[in-house]
Amino acid sequence: HNLEMKHLPGADPELVLLSHRYEELERIPLSDMTREEINQLVQELGFYRKETPDAPVPEEFQFAPARPLPTLLPHQAPAADSKTPPERDEGEHPDL
């Protein structure tokens, strides 16, 4: 559940973990791993394995392996004499 496999001819196999905004978090090379090791890794990461492809997913695993969003700290206001606008994360909307 929540795992998609894409076959890319000629590419080394890797597991790409994405955030809830589909931003890349991590790439884990799989070339040197056996099927059993990959299955264990996916389980350790918190993915839910359905019994059959059409089996229902329990409510507590609907968003697995997503973790709760980190608490964001408010941006600090710039010093009164500063002419530099406060920094924002790339892609952040200025109204947020």
Please report whether residue 48 resides in a domain.
Answer: yes
Please report whether residue 53 resides in a domain.
Answer: yes
Please report whether residue 78 resides in a domain.
Answer: no
Please report whether residue 96 resides in a domain.
Answer: no
What's the pTM? Answer: 0.59
For the chain, residues with pLDDT lower than 70 are 67-96
Domain housing 52: 14-61
Please report whether residue 27 resides in a domain.
Answer: yes
> For position 30, what pLDDT does the model report?
95
The strand ranges marked E within the chain are 14-18, 24-29
Q: Is the CB of residue 63 less than 8 Å from the CB of residue 2?
A: yes
Please report whether residue 18 resides in a domain.
Answer: yes
Total number of domains constituting the chain: 1
> For position 95, what pLDDT does the model report?
47
Please report whether residue 24 resides in a domain.
Answer: yes
Please report whether residue 47 resides in a domain.
Answer: yes
For the stretch 17-44, pLDDT in tens is 988 888 899 999 999 999 999 999 999 9
How many CA atoms does the CB half-sphere of 54 hold within 13 Å? Answer: 0
Distance CA 58, CA 89 (A): 35
